[in-house]
Structure 1
Amino acid sequence: MKSRIIIGAAAALTLTLGSCVSNKKYNQMADQYRTANEGLIECNANTKSMEVMLKDLKALNADLKEAYGAIKSSLDQAMANNHQGSVNIAKLVDEINASNKYIKQLVEAKSKSDSLNMVLTNNLTRSLNTDELRDVDVKVLKGVVYISLADNMLYKSGSYDISPAAMDILGKIAKIIKDYKDYDVLVEGNTDNVPISRTNIRNNWDLSALRASSVVQALQNDFGIDPSRLTAGGRGEYNPIATNSTSSGRAENRRTEIIITPKLDQFLDLIDKAPDTL
Protein backbone atom coordinates (compact mmCIF):
# COMPACT_ATOMS: atom_id res chain seq x y z
CA MET A 1 0.00 0.00 0.00
CA LYS A 2 2.78 2.36 0.93
CA SER A 3 4.59 1.50 -2.30
CA ARG A 4 1.55 2.57 -4.31
CA ILE A 5 1.36 5.83 -2.46
CA ILE A 6 5.02 6.52 -3.12
CA ILE A 7 4.71 5.65 -6.81
CA GLY A 8 1.66 7.86 -7.08
CA ALA A 9 3.46 10.69 -5.37
CA ALA A 10 6.41 10.36 -7.71
CA ALA A 11 4.12 10.40 -10.72
CA ALA A 12 2.34 13.45 -9.41
CA LEU A 13 5.66 15.13 -8.83
CA THR A 14 6.74 14.39 -12.38
CA LEU A 15 3.54 15.84 -13.81
CA THR A 16 3.83 18.84 -11.68
CA LEU A 17 7.41 19.45 -12.69
CA GLY A 18 6.28 19.28 -16.27
CA SER A 19 4.02 22.27 -15.76
CA CYS A 20 4.45 25.62 -14.30
CA VAL A 21 4.00 25.47 -10.53
CA SER A 22 4.88 27.81 -7.73
CA ASN A 23 7.89 27.28 -5.50
CA LYS A 24 5.60 26.77 -2.54
CA LYS A 25 3.70 24.05 -4.28
CA TYR A 26 6.92 22.45 -5.40
CA ASN A 27 8.36 22.42 -1.92
CA GLN A 28 5.20 20.83 -0.54
CA MET A 29 5.38 18.08 -3.08
CA ALA A 30 9.10 17.56 -2.41
CA ASP A 31 8.34 17.16 1.28
CA GLN A 32 5.66 14.60 0.46
CA TYR A 33 8.19 12.69 -1.67
CA ARG A 34 10.77 12.62 1.09
CA THR A 35 8.14 11.43 3.57
CA ALA A 36 7.01 8.69 1.19
CA ASN A 37 10.60 7.65 0.53
CA GLU A 38 11.38 7.45 4.24
CA GLY A 39 8.23 5.35 4.71
CA LEU A 40 9.41 3.01 1.98
CA ILE A 41 12.81 2.65 3.63
CA GLU A 42 11.16 1.96 7.00
CA CYS A 43 8.78 -0.52 5.41
CA ASN A 44 11.67 -2.37 3.80
CA ALA A 45 13.51 -2.42 7.11
CA ASN A 46 10.43 -3.75 8.90
CA THR A 47 10.03 -6.42 6.24
CA LYS A 48 13.60 -7.59 6.70
CA SER A 49 13.12 -7.56 10.47
CA MET A 50 9.96 -9.69 10.10
CA GLU A 51 11.81 -12.13 7.84
CA VAL A 52 14.58 -12.53 10.44
CA MET A 53 11.99 -12.97 13.18
CA LEU A 54 10.11 -15.54 11.11
CA LYS A 55 13.36 -17.44 10.47
CA ASP A 56 14.13 -17.40 14.20
CA LEU A 57 10.62 -18.60 15.03
CA LYS A 58 10.93 -21.46 12.55
CA ALA A 59 14.25 -22.51 14.11
CA LEU A 60 12.72 -22.29 17.59
CA ASN A 61 9.76 -24.37 16.45
CA ALA A 62 12.13 -27.04 15.11
CA ASP A 63 14.02 -27.07 18.42
CA LEU A 64 10.75 -27.39 20.33
CA LYS A 65 9.67 -30.31 18.15
CA GLU A 66 13.01 -32.05 18.75
CA ALA A 67 12.77 -31.47 22.52
CA TYR A 68 9.20 -32.76 22.54
CA GLY A 69 10.26 -35.90 20.70
CA ALA A 70 13.07 -36.53 23.21
CA ILE A 71 10.74 -36.00 26.17
CA LYS A 72 8.10 -38.28 24.67
CA SER A 73 10.72 -40.98 24.01
CA SER A 74 11.98 -40.73 27.60
CA LEU A 75 8.45 -40.90 28.96
CA ASP A 76 7.64 -43.96 26.84
CA GLN A 77 10.83 -45.67 28.01
CA ALA A 78 10.07 -44.79 31.64
CA MET A 79 6.56 -46.23 31.33
CA ALA A 80 7.93 -49.41 29.75
CA ASN A 81 10.56 -49.75 32.50
CA ASN A 82 7.94 -49.15 35.15
CA HIS A 83 5.76 -51.91 33.69
CA GLN A 84 8.73 -54.30 33.52
CA GLY A 85 9.65 -53.33 37.08
CA SER A 86 6.13 -54.13 38.23
CA VAL A 87 6.33 -57.52 36.51
CA ASN A 88 9.73 -58.27 38.10
CA ILE A 89 8.49 -57.26 41.55
CA ALA A 90 5.42 -59.47 41.20
CA LYS A 91 7.62 -62.40 40.13
CA LEU A 92 9.97 -61.81 43.06
CA VAL A 93 7.05 -61.74 45.50
CA ASP A 94 5.80 -65.07 44.10
CA GLU A 95 9.26 -66.61 44.48
CA ILE A 96 9.58 -65.35 48.06
CA ASN A 97 6.15 -66.74 48.94
CA ALA A 98 7.05 -70.12 47.43
CA SER A 99 10.34 -70.19 49.33
CA ASN A 100 8.65 -69.21 52.59
CA LYS A 101 6.07 -71.96 52.14
CA TYR A 102 8.82 -74.53 51.48
CA ILE A 103 10.83 -73.38 54.52
CA LYS A 104 7.70 -73.56 56.66
CA GLN A 105 7.11 -77.15 55.55
CA LEU A 106 10.70 -78.08 56.38
CA VAL A 107 10.44 -76.44 59.81
CA GLU A 108 7.15 -78.20 60.51
CA ALA A 109 8.62 -81.56 59.49
CA LYS A 110 11.71 -80.94 61.60
CA SER A 111 9.62 -79.84 64.60
CA LYS A 112 7.40 -82.90 64.28
CA SER A 113 10.46 -85.16 64.11
CA ASP A 114 12.07 -83.47 67.12
CA SER A 115 8.88 -83.79 69.14
CA LEU A 116 8.48 -87.47 68.31
CA ASN A 117 12.12 -88.11 69.18
CA MET A 118 11.68 -86.49 72.56
CA VAL A 119 8.55 -88.50 73.32
CA LEU A 120 10.21 -91.72 72.10
CA THR A 121 13.26 -91.08 74.31
CA ASN A 122 11.14 -90.30 77.36
CA ASN A 123 8.99 -93.39 76.87
CA LEU A 124 12.04 -95.59 76.42
CA THR A 125 13.81 -94.19 79.48
CA ARG A 126 10.70 -94.64 81.64
CA SER A 127 10.33 -98.25 80.53
CA LEU A 128 13.79 -99.20 81.87
CA ASN A 129 14.57 -99.68 85.57
CA THR A 130 17.59 -98.22 87.33
CA ASP A 131 19.76 -101.31 86.89
CA GLU A 132 18.96 -101.53 83.17
CA LEU A 133 19.76 -97.86 82.64
CA ARG A 134 23.32 -98.53 83.80
CA ASP A 135 23.84 -100.68 80.69
CA VAL A 136 21.75 -98.61 78.29
CA ASP A 137 22.54 -95.06 77.14
CA VAL A 138 19.77 -93.17 75.35
CA LYS A 139 20.42 -89.83 73.63
CA VAL A 140 19.27 -87.72 70.68
CA LEU A 141 21.86 -86.29 68.30
CA LYS A 142 20.93 -84.21 65.24
CA GLY A 143 17.38 -85.53 65.15
CA VAL A 144 18.38 -89.19 65.56
CA VAL A 145 17.76 -91.41 68.62
CA TYR A 146 20.76 -93.50 69.70
CA ILE A 147 20.35 -96.44 72.09
CA SER A 148 23.77 -97.73 73.06
CA LEU A 149 23.85 -101.21 74.66
CA ALA A 150 26.90 -102.33 76.65
CA ASP A 151 28.73 -105.29 75.20
CA ASN A 152 29.09 -107.16 78.52
CA MET A 153 25.33 -106.99 79.06
CA LEU A 154 24.43 -108.24 75.57
CA TYR A 155 26.96 -111.00 74.91
CA LYS A 156 29.62 -113.16 76.42
CA SER A 157 33.19 -112.17 75.63
CA GLY A 158 34.04 -112.90 72.00
CA SER A 159 30.50 -114.18 71.30
CA TYR A 160 27.53 -112.92 69.33
CA ASP A 161 24.84 -114.88 71.20
CA ILE A 162 22.45 -112.61 73.10
CA SER A 163 22.14 -113.21 76.85
CA PRO A 164 18.71 -113.79 78.54
CA ALA A 165 19.07 -110.53 80.50
CA ALA A 166 19.63 -108.62 77.28
CA MET A 167 16.49 -110.13 75.77
CA ASP A 168 14.38 -108.47 78.48
CA ILE A 169 15.85 -105.07 77.61
CA LEU A 170 15.46 -105.69 73.86
CA GLY A 171 11.81 -106.56 74.51
CA LYS A 172 11.23 -103.14 76.10
CA ILE A 173 13.05 -101.38 73.28
CA ALA A 174 11.06 -103.37 70.69
CA LYS A 175 7.78 -102.26 72.27
CA ILE A 176 8.75 -98.60 71.81
CA ILE A 177 9.94 -99.23 68.24
CA LYS A 178 6.59 -100.85 67.39
CA ASP A 179 4.75 -97.73 68.56
CA TYR A 180 6.69 -95.56 66.09
CA LYS A 181 6.05 -97.17 62.73
CA ASP A 182 7.35 -94.15 60.79
CA TYR A 183 10.88 -94.79 62.02
CA ASP A 184 13.60 -96.99 60.54
CA VAL A 185 15.99 -98.96 62.75
CA LEU A 186 19.71 -99.40 62.10
CA VAL A 187 21.68 -101.72 64.39
CA GLU A 188 25.45 -101.14 64.42
CA GLY A 189 28.02 -103.39 66.06
CA ASN A 190 31.29 -101.91 67.38
CA THR A 191 34.38 -103.49 68.95
CA ASP A 192 37.66 -102.45 70.53
CA ASN A 193 40.95 -102.92 68.69
CA VAL A 194 41.91 -106.21 70.33
CA PRO A 195 42.05 -108.89 67.60
CA ILE A 196 39.48 -111.70 67.86
CA SER A 197 40.90 -115.23 68.12
CA ARG A 198 38.13 -117.64 67.14
CA THR A 199 38.22 -120.04 64.27
CA ASN A 200 34.72 -119.19 62.99
CA ILE A 201 35.19 -115.41 63.24
CA ARG A 202 37.90 -113.92 61.07
CA ASN A 203 38.28 -110.47 62.64
CA ASN A 204 36.53 -107.62 64.47
CA TRP A 205 34.62 -106.72 61.31
CA ASP A 206 33.00 -110.16 61.38
CA LEU A 207 32.32 -109.97 65.11
CA SER A 208 30.67 -106.53 64.95
CA ALA A 209 28.51 -107.53 61.96
CA LEU A 210 27.44 -110.83 63.58
CA ARG A 211 26.46 -109.05 66.79
CA ALA A 212 24.37 -106.51 64.89
CA SER A 213 22.74 -109.31 62.93
CA SER A 214 21.88 -111.16 66.16
CA VAL A 215 20.07 -108.09 67.53
CA VAL A 216 18.20 -107.50 64.26
CA GLN A 217 17.05 -111.12 64.13
CA ALA A 218 15.91 -111.01 67.77
CA LEU A 219 13.87 -107.85 67.05
CA GLN A 220 12.28 -109.56 64.06
CA ASN A 221 11.83 -113.16 65.28
CA ASP A 222 11.20 -112.68 69.00
CA PHE A 223 9.46 -109.30 69.09
CA GLY A 224 7.72 -109.02 65.73
CA ILE A 225 9.40 -105.91 64.30
CA ASP A 226 8.82 -105.56 60.54
CA PRO A 227 12.15 -106.64 58.95
CA SER A 228 11.74 -104.04 56.19
CA ARG A 229 12.42 -101.43 58.86
CA LEU A 230 15.61 -103.12 60.08
CA THR A 231 19.22 -102.83 58.91
CA ALA A 232 22.28 -104.56 60.42
CA GLY A 233 25.81 -103.20 60.07
CA GLY A 234 29.24 -103.81 61.56
CA ARG A 235 31.83 -101.08 62.06
CA GLY A 236 34.49 -103.19 63.70
CA GLU A 237 37.04 -101.20 65.70
CA TYR A 238 36.87 -98.15 63.43
CA ASN A 239 34.24 -96.05 65.21
CA PRO A 240 35.63 -95.67 68.74
CA ILE A 241 34.10 -93.31 71.29
CA ALA A 242 36.93 -93.70 73.81
CA THR A 243 40.60 -94.60 73.89
CA ASN A 244 41.62 -98.21 73.36
CA SER A 245 44.68 -97.78 75.57
CA THR A 246 42.72 -98.46 78.79
CA SER A 247 40.40 -101.27 79.81
CA SER A 248 37.57 -98.84 80.59
CA GLY A 249 37.96 -97.17 77.19
CA ARG A 250 37.91 -100.52 75.39
CA ALA A 251 34.76 -101.45 77.32
CA GLU A 252 33.04 -98.29 76.05
CA ASN A 253 34.05 -99.06 72.49
CA ARG A 254 32.59 -102.58 72.69
CA ARG A 255 28.96 -101.64 72.19
CA THR A 256 25.95 -102.20 69.97
CA GLU A 257 23.93 -99.16 68.94
CA ILE A 258 20.28 -99.19 67.94
CA ILE A 259 19.79 -96.05 65.85
CA ILE A 260 16.18 -94.95 65.32
CA THR A 261 15.63 -92.45 62.51
CA PRO A 262 12.52 -90.94 60.90
CA LYS A 263 11.78 -92.35 57.48
CA LEU A 264 13.41 -90.12 54.88
CA ASP A 265 10.51 -90.27 52.40
CA GLN A 266 8.84 -87.13 53.69
CA PHE A 267 12.08 -85.17 53.55
CA LEU A 268 12.91 -86.44 50.07
CA ASP A 269 9.42 -85.47 48.94
CA LEU A 270 9.98 -81.98 50.31
CA ILE A 271 13.32 -81.74 48.52
CA ASP A 272 11.62 -82.71 45.25
CA LYS A 273 9.07 -79.95 45.83
CA ALA A 274 11.68 -77.30 46.54
CA PRO A 275 11.22 -74.09 44.49
CA ASP A 276 13.73 -73.73 41.64
CA THR A 277 14.90 -70.39 43.02
CA LEU A 278 16.27 -71.86 46.24
Structure 2
Amino acid sequence: MKKLILLGLTAVLAFGCVSKKQYAELEAKQKETQDLLNTATVKLNACLSDQAASQARLEGLREQLADLRKTNQDLIDTKGNLTTLTKKGADNLEKSLESLKEKDLKISRLQDALNKKDSVTLAIVSSLKKEVGINDPDIEINVEKGVVFISIADKLLFTSGSYNVTSRAKEVLGKVAKVINSKPNFEAMVEAHTDNVPYSKPPLLDNWDLSVKRATSVVRVLEDLEVNPQQLIAAGRSYHVPLVENDTAENRAKNRRTRIVVLPKIDQFYAMIEEEMKNLSGEGN
Protein backbone atom coordinates (compact mmCIF):
# COMPACT_ATOMS: atom_id res chain seq x y z
CA MET A 1 0.00 0.00 0.00
CA LYS A 2 2.77 2.44 0.91
CA LYS A 3 4.55 1.69 -2.35
CA LEU A 4 1.44 2.49 -4.35
CA ILE A 5 1.08 5.89 -2.68
CA LEU A 6 4.69 6.72 -3.29
CA LEU A 7 4.33 5.70 -6.94
CA GLY A 8 1.26 7.89 -7.18
CA LEU A 9 3.08 10.86 -5.73
CA THR A 10 5.98 10.27 -8.06
CA ALA A 11 3.65 10.16 -11.06
CA VAL A 12 1.99 13.37 -10.02
CA LEU A 13 5.33 15.06 -9.57
CA ALA A 14 6.45 13.67 -12.86
CA PHE A 15 3.50 14.95 -14.86
CA GLY A 16 3.06 18.13 -13.08
CA CYS A 17 3.71 20.14 -10.09
CA VAL A 18 1.33 19.98 -7.09
CA SER A 19 0.67 22.66 -4.59
CA LYS A 20 1.86 22.48 -1.05
CA LYS A 21 -1.68 22.11 0.12
CA GLN A 22 -2.27 19.07 -2.07
CA TYR A 23 1.01 17.58 -0.97
CA ALA A 24 0.10 18.04 2.66
CA GLU A 25 -3.28 16.40 2.07
CA LEU A 26 -1.64 13.51 0.30
CA GLU A 27 0.90 13.13 3.07
CA ALA A 28 -1.87 13.18 5.70
CA LYS A 29 -3.80 10.60 3.67
CA GLN A 30 -0.71 8.45 3.55
CA LYS A 31 -0.25 8.65 7.35
CA GLU A 32 -3.90 7.79 7.94
CA THR A 33 -3.61 4.81 5.63
CA GLN A 34 -0.40 3.73 7.33
CA ASP A 35 -2.10 3.95 10.75
CA LEU A 36 -5.00 1.86 9.50
CA LEU A 37 -2.55 -0.67 8.13
CA ASN A 38 -0.68 -0.87 11.44
CA THR A 39 -3.93 -1.23 13.37
CA ALA A 40 -5.11 -3.95 11.02
CA THR A 41 -1.78 -5.74 11.37
CA VAL A 42 -2.01 -5.63 15.18
CA LYS A 43 -5.58 -6.95 15.09
CA LEU A 44 -4.55 -9.67 12.66
CA ASN A 45 -1.72 -10.77 14.90
CA ALA A 46 -4.04 -10.72 17.90
CA CYS A 47 -6.58 -12.83 16.03
CA LEU A 48 -3.89 -15.28 14.96
CA SER A 49 -2.74 -15.51 18.61
CA ASP A 50 -6.31 -16.01 19.81
CA GLN A 51 -6.82 -18.65 17.13
CA ALA A 52 -3.71 -20.54 18.28
CA ALA A 53 -4.83 -20.34 21.90
CA SER A 54 -8.36 -21.46 20.97
CA GLN A 55 -6.93 -24.34 18.98
CA ALA A 56 -4.79 -25.37 21.95
CA ARG A 57 -7.82 -25.20 24.27
CA LEU A 58 -9.83 -27.20 21.75
CA GLU A 59 -7.19 -29.92 21.68
CA GLY A 60 -7.12 -29.91 25.50
CA LEU A 61 -10.90 -30.22 25.65
CA ARG A 62 -10.81 -33.06 23.13
CA GLU A 63 -8.25 -34.89 25.28
CA GLN A 64 -10.37 -34.29 28.41
CA LEU A 65 -13.44 -35.55 26.56
CA ALA A 66 -11.56 -38.69 25.51
CA ASP A 67 -10.41 -39.23 29.12
CA LEU A 68 -13.94 -38.71 30.42
CA ARG A 69 -15.32 -41.17 27.88
CA LYS A 70 -12.71 -43.75 28.87
CA THR A 71 -13.38 -43.16 32.58
CA ASN A 72 -17.11 -43.47 31.96
CA GLN A 73 -16.61 -46.75 30.11
CA ASP A 74 -14.32 -48.02 32.87
CA LEU A 75 -17.01 -47.14 35.42
CA ILE A 76 -19.62 -48.95 33.35
CA ASP A 77 -17.35 -52.00 33.09
CA THR A 78 -16.55 -51.83 36.80
CA LYS A 79 -20.22 -51.54 37.65
CA GLY A 80 -20.92 -54.59 35.52
CA ASN A 81 -18.10 -56.52 37.20
CA LEU A 82 -19.28 -55.41 40.64
CA THR A 83 -22.81 -56.48 39.78
CA THR A 84 -21.51 -59.88 38.72
CA LEU A 85 -19.29 -60.16 41.79
CA THR A 86 -22.08 -59.00 44.07
CA LYS A 87 -24.42 -61.62 42.64
CA LYS A 88 -21.76 -64.31 43.00
CA GLY A 89 -21.04 -63.09 46.52
CA ALA A 90 -24.72 -63.20 47.40
CA ASP A 91 -25.02 -66.72 45.98
CA ASN A 92 -21.93 -67.85 47.88
CA LEU A 93 -23.19 -66.23 51.07
CA GLU A 94 -26.55 -67.93 50.69
CA LYS A 95 -24.83 -71.28 50.14
CA SER A 96 -22.63 -70.66 53.20
CA LEU A 97 -25.67 -69.84 55.31
CA GLU A 98 -27.42 -73.00 54.11
CA SER A 99 -24.31 -75.01 54.93
CA LEU A 100 -24.13 -73.46 58.40
CA LYS A 101 -27.82 -74.21 58.97
CA GLU A 102 -27.25 -77.82 57.93
CA LYS A 103 -24.22 -78.11 60.21
CA ASP A 104 -26.16 -76.56 63.10
CA LEU A 105 -28.94 -79.06 62.52
CA LYS A 106 -26.45 -81.94 62.47
CA ILE A 107 -24.84 -80.69 65.67
CA SER A 108 -28.26 -80.31 67.25
CA ARG A 109 -29.20 -83.86 66.26
CA LEU A 110 -25.93 -85.24 67.58
CA GLN A 111 -26.34 -83.25 70.78
CA ASP A 112 -29.80 -84.73 71.19
CA ALA A 113 -28.32 -88.20 70.75
CA LEU A 114 -25.63 -87.47 73.32
CA ASN A 115 -28.21 -86.04 75.72
CA LYS A 116 -30.25 -89.21 75.37
CA LYS A 117 -27.14 -91.26 76.11
CA ASP A 118 -26.40 -89.08 79.13
CA SER A 119 -29.97 -89.52 80.36
CA VAL A 120 -29.60 -93.28 80.10
CA THR A 121 -26.23 -93.04 81.88
CA LEU A 122 -27.76 -91.12 84.79
CA ALA A 123 -30.58 -93.68 84.96
CA ILE A 124 -27.97 -96.45 85.21
CA VAL A 125 -26.18 -94.63 88.03
CA SER A 126 -29.46 -94.16 89.87
CA SER A 127 -30.36 -97.84 89.44
CA LEU A 128 -26.92 -99.00 90.58
CA LYS A 129 -26.94 -96.81 93.67
CA LYS A 130 -30.38 -98.09 94.52
CA GLU A 131 -29.57 -101.76 93.85
CA VAL A 132 -25.99 -102.02 95.13
CA GLY A 133 -26.11 -99.60 98.03
CA ILE A 134 -24.01 -96.48 98.02
CA ASN A 135 -23.24 -96.65 101.74
CA ASP A 136 -20.80 -99.53 101.28
CA PRO A 137 -17.28 -97.99 101.48
CA ASP A 138 -15.87 -100.83 99.37
CA ILE A 139 -18.09 -99.94 96.40
CA GLU A 140 -17.82 -96.67 94.47
CA ILE A 141 -20.15 -95.60 91.69
CA ASN A 142 -19.41 -92.52 89.61
CA VAL A 143 -19.64 -91.04 86.13
CA GLU A 144 -16.71 -89.72 84.11
CA LYS A 145 -17.27 -88.23 80.63
CA GLY A 146 -20.58 -90.00 80.18
CA VAL A 147 -19.30 -93.42 81.30
CA VAL A 148 -20.45 -95.24 84.45
CA PHE A 149 -17.74 -96.76 86.67
CA ILE A 150 -18.39 -99.29 89.44
CA SER A 151 -15.25 -99.84 91.48
CA ILE A 152 -15.28 -102.81 93.88
CA ALA A 153 -12.53 -103.30 96.44
CA ASP A 154 -10.37 -106.41 96.12
CA LYS A 155 -11.24 -107.67 99.61
CA LEU A 156 -14.94 -107.71 98.68
CA LEU A 157 -14.42 -109.93 95.61
CA PHE A 158 -11.45 -112.19 96.29
CA THR A 159 -9.42 -113.69 99.09
CA SER A 160 -5.74 -112.69 99.14
CA GLY A 161 -3.80 -113.95 96.10
CA SER A 162 -6.88 -115.78 94.73
CA TYR A 163 -9.02 -115.34 91.65
CA ASN A 164 -12.02 -117.21 93.05
CA VAL A 165 -15.01 -114.91 93.64
CA THR A 166 -16.39 -114.81 97.22
CA SER A 167 -20.04 -115.45 98.07
CA ARG A 168 -20.51 -111.82 99.14
CA ALA A 169 -19.14 -110.68 95.79
CA LYS A 170 -21.69 -112.83 94.01
CA GLU A 171 -24.42 -111.05 95.93
CA VAL A 172 -23.11 -107.62 94.84
CA LEU A 173 -22.53 -108.78 91.25
CA GLY A 174 -26.10 -110.10 91.16
CA LYS A 175 -27.35 -106.52 91.71
CA VAL A 176 -24.98 -105.22 89.07
CA ALA A 177 -26.18 -107.91 86.64
CA LYS A 178 -29.77 -106.80 87.17
CA VAL A 179 -28.90 -103.25 86.05
CA ILE A 180 -26.82 -104.43 83.06
CA ASN A 181 -29.63 -106.72 81.92
CA SER A 182 -31.98 -103.73 81.88
CA LYS A 183 -29.72 -101.98 79.36
CA PRO A 184 -29.17 -104.43 76.46
CA ASN A 185 -27.62 -101.70 74.28
CA PHE A 186 -24.77 -101.15 76.76
CA GLU A 187 -21.58 -103.11 77.38
CA ALA A 188 -19.93 -103.98 80.67
CA MET A 189 -16.14 -104.13 80.69
CA VAL A 190 -14.64 -105.85 83.75
CA GLU A 191 -11.25 -104.30 84.51
CA ALA A 192 -9.09 -106.04 87.17
CA HIS A 193 -6.15 -104.26 88.85
CA THR A 194 -3.46 -105.58 91.22
CA ASP A 195 -0.76 -103.95 93.34
CA ASN A 196 2.93 -104.12 92.40
CA VAL A 197 3.90 -106.94 94.76
CA PRO A 198 5.46 -109.70 92.57
CA TYR A 199 3.08 -112.61 92.04
CA SER A 200 3.73 -116.15 90.87
CA LYS A 201 1.51 -119.12 91.64
CA PRO A 202 1.50 -121.75 88.92
CA PRO A 203 -0.12 -121.88 86.49
CA LEU A 204 -0.21 -118.06 86.84
CA LEU A 205 3.07 -116.34 86.08
CA ASP A 206 2.66 -112.76 87.27
CA ASN A 207 0.27 -109.90 88.04
CA TRP A 208 -0.84 -109.80 84.40
CA ASP A 209 -2.10 -113.36 84.65
CA LEU A 210 -3.72 -112.67 88.03
CA SER A 211 -5.56 -109.55 86.83
CA VAL A 212 -6.81 -111.24 83.66
CA LYS A 213 -7.92 -114.32 85.61
CA ARG A 214 -9.81 -112.18 88.12
CA ALA A 215 -11.52 -110.30 85.28
CA THR A 216 -12.63 -113.52 83.59
CA SER A 217 -13.85 -114.90 86.94
CA VAL A 218 -16.13 -111.88 87.39
CA VAL A 219 -17.30 -112.15 83.77
CA ARG A 220 -18.23 -115.81 84.32
CA VAL A 221 -20.26 -114.91 87.42
CA LEU A 222 -22.12 -112.22 85.46
CA GLU A 223 -22.73 -114.70 82.65
CA ASP A 224 -24.13 -117.19 85.21
CA LEU A 225 -26.44 -114.37 86.29
CA GLU A 226 -27.83 -114.35 82.72
CA VAL A 227 -25.99 -111.28 81.46
CA ASN A 228 -25.66 -111.52 77.69
CA PRO A 229 -22.01 -112.54 77.05
CA GLN A 230 -22.02 -110.25 74.00
CA GLN A 231 -22.25 -107.35 76.43
CA LEU A 232 -19.25 -108.47 78.50
CA ILE A 233 -15.54 -107.62 78.12
CA ALA A 234 -12.74 -109.01 80.32
CA ALA A 235 -9.62 -106.86 80.77
CA GLY A 236 -6.56 -107.31 83.00
CA ARG A 237 -4.47 -104.21 83.80
CA SER A 238 -1.90 -105.73 86.20
CA TYR A 239 -0.43 -102.98 88.46
CA HIS A 240 0.18 -100.44 85.69
CA VAL A 241 -2.81 -98.14 86.38
CA PRO A 242 -2.61 -97.49 90.14
CA LEU A 243 -4.91 -95.06 91.94
CA VAL A 244 -2.12 -94.12 94.37
CA GLU A 245 1.54 -94.95 94.87
CA ASN A 246 2.19 -98.55 95.93
CA ASP A 247 4.31 -97.37 98.86
CA THR A 248 2.20 -98.51 101.84
CA ALA A 249 -0.02 -101.49 102.67
CA GLU A 250 -3.03 -99.18 102.74
CA ASN A 251 -2.27 -97.76 99.29
CA ARG A 252 -1.65 -101.20 97.83
CA ALA A 253 -5.06 -102.26 99.13
CA LYS A 254 -6.64 -99.28 97.29
CA ASN A 255 -4.92 -100.28 94.06
CA ARG A 256 -6.18 -103.87 94.26
CA ARG A 257 -9.63 -103.41 92.79
CA THR A 258 -12.01 -104.51 90.07
CA ARG A 259 -13.76 -101.86 88.02
CA ILE A 260 -16.86 -102.51 85.92
CA VAL A 261 -17.26 -99.93 83.18
CA VAL A 262 -20.78 -99.60 81.80
CA LEU A 263 -20.75 -97.85 78.43
CA PRO A 264 -22.83 -97.72 75.23
CA LYS A 265 -21.84 -100.15 72.52
CA ILE A 266 -19.50 -98.22 70.24
CA ASP A 267 -20.76 -99.79 67.02
CA GLN A 268 -24.36 -99.02 67.95
CA PHE A 269 -23.47 -95.48 68.96
CA TYR A 270 -21.82 -94.84 65.59
CA ALA A 271 -24.74 -96.54 63.85
CA MET A 272 -27.05 -94.10 65.64
CA ILE A 273 -24.95 -91.14 64.41
CA GLU A 274 -24.88 -92.58 60.89
CA GLU A 275 -28.65 -92.96 60.95
CA GLU A 276 -28.98 -89.31 61.99
CA MET A 277 -26.77 -88.31 59.06
CA LYS A 278 -28.96 -90.29 56.66
CA ASN A 279 -32.06 -88.62 58.06
CA LEU A 280 -30.50 -85.21 57.56
CA SER A 281 -29.50 -86.07 53.98
CA GLY A 282 -33.05 -87.24 53.27
CA GLU A 283 -34.49 -84.01 54.64
CA GLY A 284 -32.01 -82.01 52.54
CA ASN A 285 -33.18 -83.76 49.36
Q: Does 1:117 align with 2:107?
A: no
Q: Does 1:70 align with 2:74?
A: yes
Matches of residues 258-277 of structure 1 in structure 2 within 5 Å?
A: 258-265=260-267, 267-269=269-271, 270=273, 273=277
Aligned match of 2:131 in 127, 133, 155? 127
Query: Whole-Å Cα distance in 1 between the matches of residues 258 and 48 of structure 2?
Result: 121
Query: Whole-Å Cα distance in 2 between the matches of residues 49 and 241 of structure 1?
Result: 102
Moved more, 41-50 or 236-245: 41-50
Q: Does 1:199 align with 2:186?
A: no
User: Aligned in 2, Cα 1:43/1:97: closer, same or farther, shift over 3 Å?
Assistant: same
Matches of residues 217-256 of structure 1 in structure 2 within 5 Å?
A: 217-220=220-223, 222-256=224-258
User: Aligned in 2, Cα 1:63/1:129: closer, same or farther, shift over 3 Å?
Assistant: closer
Shift of residue 43, structure 1, vs aligned partner: 10
CA RMSD of aligned residues (A): 3.2
Show the counterpart of 2:182. Answer: 179
User: Aligned in 2, Cα 1:54/1:215: closer, same or farther, shift over 3 Å?
Assistant: same
Q: Does 1:94 align with 2:95?
A: no
The percent of aligned pairs where both chains have the same amino acid is 33
String of CA shifts for 1:78-119, please: whole Å, max 9, x gaps: 112211211221122122112212221232222222221111
TM score, norm. by length of structure 2: 0.73
Show the counterpart of 1:146. Answer: 149
User: Aligned in 2, Cα 1:46/1:193: closer, same or farther, shift over 3 Å?
Assistant: closer
Shift of residue 237, structure 1, vs aligned partner: 0.8
Shift of residue 266, structure 1, vs aligned partner: 5.2
Aligned match of 1:106 in 101, 110, 134? 110
Shift of residue 59, structure 1, vs aligned partner: 3.9
Unpaired segments of 5 or more residues in structure 2?
Answer: 1-28, 281-285
TM score, norm. by length of structure 1: 0.75
User: Aligned in 2, Cα 1:52/1:151: closer, same or farther, shift over 3 Å?
Assistant: closer
Q: Does 1:257 align with 2:262?
A: no
Given that 2:195 and 2:239 are in contact with CA atoms closer than 8 Å, whether structure 1 keeps it comes out as yes
Shift of residue 264, structure 1, vs aligned partner: 2.1
Paired residue type of 1:236: S
User: Aligned in 2, Cα 1:60/1:171: closer, same or farther, shift over 3 Å?
Assistant: same
Matches of residues 22-101 of structure 1 in structure 2 within 5 Å?
A: 58-101=62-105
The number of residues matched between the two structures is 242
Paired residue type of 1:86: A
String of CA shifts for 1:16-35, please: whole Å, max 9, x gaps: xxxxxxxxxxx9xxx9xx9x
Query: Whole-Å Cα distance in 1 between the matches of residues 57 and 198 of structure 2?
Result: 114
Shift of residue 76, structure 1, vs aligned partner: 1.2
Moved more, 66-75 or 54-63: 54-63
Query: Whole-Å Cα distance in 2 between the matches of residues 58 and 253 of structure 1?
Result: 98
Moved more, 63-72 or 168-177: 63-72
Shift of residue 135, structure 1, vs aligned partner: 2.4
User: Aligned in 2, Cα 1:234/1:79: closer, same or farther, shift over 3 Å?
Assistant: same
Show the counterpart of 1:15. Answer: none
Query: Whole-Å Cα distance in 2 between the matches of residues 188 and 115 of structure 1?
Result: 24
User: Aligned in 2, Cα 1:54/1:210: closer, same or farther, shift over 3 Å?
Assistant: same
